[in-house]
Amino acid sequence: MGKRIHIIIVSEGAADRQNNPIKSEQIRDILSEKLKVSVRITVLGHVQRGGNASAFDRLLVSLS
């Protein structure tokens, strides 16, 4: 059976009901503890910059 993939988006300035800020690290910790799954954080601005991948980029991806 294949893997399930989920995308969770946390907006800048996200807050809970008590107006406490919600950080992506908090969500990562909760998901990894409760669901026992691998969780990665990606900053969308870094992905949007785009451009062609360098040799270093391709090598780095193959290591993870």
Q: Which residues pair with 45 in a beta bridge?
A: none
**Helices and strands (H and E) in the chain: how many:** 3, 0
CA distance 37 to 29: 10
Q: Which residues pair with 42 in a beta bridge?
A: none
Rounded average pLDDT per 10-residue block, the chain, 64 residues: 76 90 92 89 71 84 79
The per-residue pLDDT for 22 is: 92
CA distance 62 to 51: 18
Maximum pairwise Cα distance, the chain: 47
The per-residue pLDDT for 5 is: 78
pTM of the model: 0.57
